[in-house]
Structure 1
């Protein structure tokens, strides 16, 4: 693993990590993380994927994890900035990849942003993991019971008091820049999520995405529902796309949930399935490791 600081828009320093395969990469993969989740969480999966012959990159969005520099209340950033950070990592990965096809693995938020990417035409395919639109009515039942309080009371009050969202203190999501959490709130209160909340420019960007997309929807996801996953996938209106449902029983597990996919216990099941999906996007372009 090679840590690497990259410079994104506005001069933001983005902490990334590159996991090199033992030989020539068969393809490159960028992992887009979930809201409030550090790239550390994906390290075991990234190392395993590199051992399968892939050049793998992970990163922390500006203000998150190792990309947090200074007080969060002083950071001016929104989700468009985070999409720019994603783009920055993709550009660096393309340079390292030596012409190998580039794929995305997006966990939750990491599958919601790629329609905004400048480099979406360079993406050969995306596997979406436990991702949905985020619209509150499409949230899982246990989340829906408290989400309106979260959006209409907790987020406005906390950001006003602290100048950022103190999620660690509140045990909700994690610390977030005020611009990120308020834009996310706007998205989650719209039935069409970002495409609806931001209007024509964002809708047209998503419609411009042509890379194939497979969305893995987890039956015991405590945050996302199958309906929400379909809403998100359909934002990529002109991309070849499908949703695959995965139940814990399918992989002989008691639970997967929103975050379990990246646990090492799933190396021979869910992780191997991911490799097969990547190979299925453009197998003719992959080279032997």
Structure 2
């Protein structure tokens, strides 16, 4: 089945514009998928996953959060976006997807911080199912051994020292991900040093209002989202059924997945198939 790809600029409720890519199928199954990226990961990383699902009949939307990738419209030092801004980006794309295809059921596929932003998304009621991939709390005490030390250094040294120095978080220079606006990392750090993470700043979050089915996936040897951290976030969906799965690669006879592997094409016949089957029944 063929598909076509187009890009557009979408204005959000904050007044800025973000870049959205739409993967349209040749023959629609009347379902849409919105992919919400991990921190500092560009939408192009998800293009093979999006292309695959569009060949199955889904209309798929990817986007870059404001301040990175194709949504970087000004000097990053002047960018005032924070994580709430990014949650409104997620909301804007979901609303856009619904307006484009009114009859479609929408699945939000949220990677890492994308699943956290659900709590701040005022349009989350528009989705019909949610799949979170390694979405977690970043509170450092949920990590163990070397990875706990790495989180401590990240929250207490890397961000506080480098961000004022550069005027933004120089993630590329550190070999991490895309550079981030300073208010994004300052707010992220504020959460990461508190046991209640984002709940320490926001008491009225959307997690408890969600009624649709949720699939929460995690993987062993994911140093950015250990099982306990994903369990924590999954527990916040208090008024719906959460299908919580910690998938063991050896049991599925697949290669290691860790934090970023899920969206690699090599998992088309395993993890992607599992996701398609779950969406089909939920």
TM-score (norm: length of structure 1): 0.92
How many angstroms apart in 2 are the aligned matches of 1:97 and 1:141? Answer: 47
- The equivalent residue for 2:266 is 265
How many angstroms apart in 1 are the aligned matches of 2:151 and 2:123? Answer: 33
Higher relative contact order (CA 8 A, sep 6+): 1
The match for 1:88 among 69, 86, 92 is: 92
The match for 1:59 among 56, 63, 68 is: 63
- The equivalent residue for 2:52 is 48
- The equivalent residue for 1:152 is 156
How many angstroms apart in 2 are the aligned matches of 1:184 and 1:140? Answer: 20
How many angstroms apart in 1 are the aligned matches of 2:146 and 2:98? Answer: 40
Pairwise CA RMSD = 1.4
How many angstroms apart in 1 are the aligned matches of 2:63 and 2:202? Answer: 28
Deviations 1:267-289 (A, max 9, x none): 111101110111121xxxxxxxx
Deviations 1:42-69 (A, max 9, x none): 0000000011111100000000111012
Give the match's secondary structure for 1:235: coil
Asked if 1:242 corresponds to 2:243, the answer is: yes
**Structure with greater helix share of residues:** 1
How far did residue 100 of structure 1 move?
Answer: 1.1
Asked if 1:71 corresponds to 2:75, the answer is: yes
Deviations 1:34-90 (A, max 9, x none): 001000000000000011111100000000111012211100011000000011111
- The equivalent residue for 1:214 is 215
- The equivalent residue for 1:188 is 192
Deviations 1:133-181 (A, max 9, x none): 1111123544212221221121111111111101101223431111110
The match for 1:10 among 8, 14, 19 is: 14
- The equivalent residue for 1:274 is 275
How many angstroms apart in 2 are the aligned matches of 1:238 and 1:64? Answer: 34
How far did residue 10 of structure 1 move?
Answer: 2.7
How many angstroms apart in 2 are the aligned matches of 1:17 and 1:140? Answer: 38
Which 4+ stretches in 1 moved above 4 angstroms?
Answer: none
| Alignment map for 1:140-179 (pairs within 5 Å) | 141-179=145-183
Deviations 1:161-217 (A, max 9, x none): 11110110122343111111011111111222212x214223xx3222222111011
- The verdict on how the C-alpha distance between 1:140 and 1:252 changes in structure 2, with shifts beyond 3 A counting, is farther
Give the match's secondary structure for 2:254: coil
How many angstroms apart in 2 are the aligned matches of 1:248 and 1:54? Answer: 27
How many angstroms apart in 1 are the aligned matches of 2:146 and 2:60? Answer: 34
Q: Quick check: 1:138–1:224 contact (8 Å CA) kept in 2?
A: no
How many angstroms apart in 2 are the aligned matches of 1:25 and 1:270? Answer: 20
How many angstroms apart in 2 are the aligned matches of 1:98 and 1:122? Answer: 10
- The equivalent residue for 1:201 is 204
With 33-42 and 94-103 compared, the bigger mean Cα shift is at 94-103
**Number of equivalenced pairs:** 278
Asked if 1:135 corresponds to 2:139, the answer is: yes
How many angstroms apart in 1 are the aligned matches of 2:77 and 2:32? Answer: 35
**Residue ranges of structure 2 left out of the alignment (5+ in a row):** none
Q: Quick check: 2:95–2:126 contact (8 Å CA) kept in 1?
A: no
Give the match's secondary structure for 1:168: coil
- The verdict on how the C-alpha distance between 1:130 and 1:15 changes in structure 2, with shifts beyond 3 A counting, is same
